[in-house]
Amino acid sequence: MPAKTALDDVAGPPAEAVAPLIRGIAVLRRLTEAGGALSPSGLERATGLARSTVDRITATLARTGYVRLDGRDVVLTPRVMELGNAYLAALRLPALLGARADALADELDESVSLAVADLDGIRFIHQATRRRALSVSFRIGDLLPAERTAPGALFAAERTGAEWARWRTRRAADPQDAAFPAVPPRPASAPEDSEERDGFWQRDGFEQGDDSQQGDDFQRRADRARRDGWALDDQLIEPGLVAVSVPVRDPATGRTACVASVVSHTSRHPAAGLRTALLPRLRTAVAAMEADLREAAPSRPGPAPSGLATWTTASKHELGREFVESLARGLTVLTAFGEGRSALSLTEVARATGLTRATARRALITHEHLGLVAPGPDPRTFTLTPRVLDLGFPALSRTALPRLAEPHLRALAERLREPVALAVLTGDGTEIQYTAGAGASRVLTADITVGARLPAASTSLGRVLLADAADPLPPDLAQVRDRSYVLADEELESGLRSIAVPVRDRGGRAVAAIDVATHAARRTLEDCVHDLLPALRATADRIQADLHTASRFTRVPPT
């Protein structure tokens, strides 16, 4: 078995916990820690589970759409982000405050993040990252040790004595921060040179000495953060990285709801200069965020999931023992939460999922044991915790559209035995640029080179995108918009036919297009419409479903 992480419960599971659900969540966590993909044998080693158990769990997760079996690897899919989306939607903070964070990042030309407390750590719920040669690599869902961050000091300023005692126990058990894979491990020992050693401990956020002294140092930083109302990260994570943070307070309780941070590096802003260069504007932005929270209308419950219990039963009948129904049903409980459904009773969870109260209760007991749910404001209710973000979200939170589309393109190319491509319009709208593709095993086939550009008006891909890009449209493009596809017949090259459809974002805007190319001798125009178009549209729908899930709380770049 691997070493326990910050998310592994040290106590044994309660008697009513669902063991297959515990094992399935362990598989999702190990996949997340590995960056989103592992072989079955790698999962066997990482989880300590038998290979047959790993195979049944991954088959079940593949059936739910949370992973795909890609050659020798088990790969997380964008659909697993539905679990983290449920938490973020229930929390509401990213939806209410994300635009303010993005605007501040644009104004300062620095990265801006929002983070919440997660026991002894802090976890990111929003990131507005600047694209530079030197840029911050943290992702939504990443967990950092509180003592090595500025937000951690602000959250620690509100800790109780019992919470400080728990933190000290965790620090003593994991002095190198091995349980936090998103940060570099803490150096095992300080340098021998006295002057260098003193700088090392200051940079690392601790005074030289035993664990008790180090804890005292963090508590002093927390006390200072309480007095000042802001906190500084002077290279606590790694040399060169600095940040300044301000708490965003809940208007109902006055406690810290989340912490907003501006992150830079010492070549742009020395730590001592953050107070004058960045803090005033950050405080202004936080004041606006707090006003947004005060003025926010109560959230209206969105549609709850339905028919989940029926679906899992049908899957069990179809796949037999290879489908672990208790795992699938346990995961559906997490998706019962969401916008307007931040705190649910057992009855409400059962009603939303279609599960029996007994089944829902055992799943909630299991999730509470694993730290994924906690008691709600009413003792009879439950809420999701930030730990839900650890189930696949960080590994996928920076997925670009081409990477998201590639498995779907490969499947379509294999099915049709024709080359398939994804393209976007260039900035001036005159050309398309290929961003992903899948070839076909034919002697005569279209050559798709990622990065290549072609005139938009001469390609089916380009005309589909142009039909969505301007208003009013010329008559020929108006017809394209109405029927939502383009069939190009030997316009770019003799013998080359292609048919294309748009890929639309959550707002319905065509952000890309996919096409199938063929030779005129292989398929008539009627064949292209009757045979290729339905398969092409079905693939576009799958790509759009993944795009809509992945982009609900993160930005999915088109290239």
Residue 472: is it exposed, middle or buried by C-beta count within 10 angstroms (0-12/13-18/19+)?
exposed
Could you please state the CATH topology (level 3) that the domain comprising 19-85+307-395 is classified under.
Arc Repressor Mutant, subunit A (1.10.10)
Residue 94: is it exposed, middle or buried by C-beta count within 10 angstroms (0-12/13-18/19+)?
buried
CA 168 vs. chain centroid, Å, equals 30
Please, what is the end-to-end C-alpha distance for the chain in angstroms? 39
CA distance 303 to 340: 10
Is-same-fold flag (93-185+211-295; 401-552)?
Answer: yes
Pair 144, 186: CB distance under 8 Å: no
CA distance 33 to 44: 14
> What pLDDT, on a 0 to 100 scale, did the predictor assign at position 442?
63
At residue 485, φ and ψ (nearest 5 deg) are: -160, 160
Provide the 10 A C-beta neighbour count for residue 347. Answer: 11
Which DSSP string corresponds to 158-195?
T--HHHHHHHHHHHHH-TT-TT-TTSPPPPSS--SSHH
Q: How far is CA 148 from CA 4, 215, 320, 385, in A?
A: 20, 12, 48, 21
At residue 244, φ and ψ (nearest 5 deg) are: -130, 140
Instruction: Name the residue type at position 360.
Output: A
At residue 329, φ and ψ (nearest 5 deg) are: -70, -35
Q: Where are the domains of the chain?
A: 19-85+307-395, 93-185+211-295, 401-552
H or E segment and range at residue 83: helix 81-91
Nearest of 423, 402, 401 to residue 517 by alpha carbon: 423
Q: Which residues contact 468 (CB under 8 A, 6 or more apart)?
A: 481, 502, 509, 510
Q: How far is CA 62 from CA 80, 219, 322, 400, 540, in A?
A: 10, 45, 11, 22, 20
Residue 511: both structure tokens together: 């952000």
> What pLDDT, on a 0 to 100 scale, did the predictor assign at position 187?
63
Pair 302, 347: CB distance under 8 Å: no
Residue 389: both structure tokens together: 């973000």
Pair 310, 58: CB distance under 8 Å: no
Residue 291: both structure tokens together: 């006003």
Provide the 10 A C-beta neighbour count for residue 72. Answer: 11
Provide the 10 A C-beta neighbour count for residue 47. Answer: 20
Across the beta sheet with 344-345, the strand order is: 344-345, 381-384, 373-375
Please give the chain's pLDDT, 559 residues, in tens. 344 444 444 468 999 999 999 999 999 999 999 999 999 999 999 999 999 999 999 999 999 999 999 989 999 999 999 999 999 999 999 999 999 999 999 999 999 999 999 999 999 999 998 776 556 778 999 999 999 999 999 999 999 999 999 999 999 999 888 889 888 877 655 444 434 334 433 444 444 445 555 668 999 999 999 999 999 999 998 899 999 999 999 999 999 999 999 999 898 989 889 999 999 999 999 999 999 999 999 888 877 776 777 888 888 888 888 899 999 999 999 999 999 999 999 999 999 999 999 999 999 999 999 999 999 999 899 999 999 999 999 999 989 999 999 999 999 999 999 999 999 999 999 999 999 999 886 645 667 789 999 999 989 999 999 998 877 788 888 888 889 999 999 787 778 899 999 999 999 999 999 999 998 888 999 999 999 999 999 999 999 999 999 999 999 999 9
Could you please state the CATH topology (level 3) that the domain comprising 93-185+211-295 is classified under.
Beta-Lactamase (3.30.450)
> What pLDDT, on a 0 to 100 scale, did the predictor assign at position 438?
92
Nearest of 490, 491, 496, 469 to residue 480 by alpha carbon: 469
CA distance 185 to 166: 21
CA distance 27 to 196: 42
> What pLDDT, on a 0 to 100 scale, did the predictor assign at position 536?
97
> What pLDDT, on a 0 to 100 scale, did the predictor assign at position 482?
86
CA distance 526 to 543: 25
CA distance 513 to 425: 9
Q: How far is CA 299 from CA 73, 87, 89, 341, 374, in A?
A: 40, 14, 10, 9, 21
CA distance 87 to 165: 28
Provide the 10 A C-beta neighbour count for residue 252. Answer: 9
> What pLDDT, on a 0 to 100 scale, did the predictor assign at position 292?
98
> What pLDDT, on a 0 to 100 scale, did the predictor assign at position 471?
75
> What pLDDT, on a 0 to 100 scale, did the predictor assign at position 491?
80
| Three-class SS state of 104 | helix
401-552 under CATH 3.30.450.40, yes or no: yes
As beta bridge partners, residue 454 has 432
- pTM score, whole prediction: 0.91
Across the beta sheet with 256-265, the strand order is: 143-145, 121-128, 111-118, 256-265, 241-249, 231-234
Provide the 10 A C-beta neighbour count for residue 346. Answer: 15
> What pLDDT, on a 0 to 100 scale, did the predictor assign at position 188?
58
Q: How far is CA 22 from CA 12, 120, 326, in A?
A: 11, 22, 10
Burial 155-194 (b: 16+ CB within 10 A, else e): bbbebeeeeeeebbebbeebeebebbbbbeebeeebeeee
CA distance 486 to 502: 9
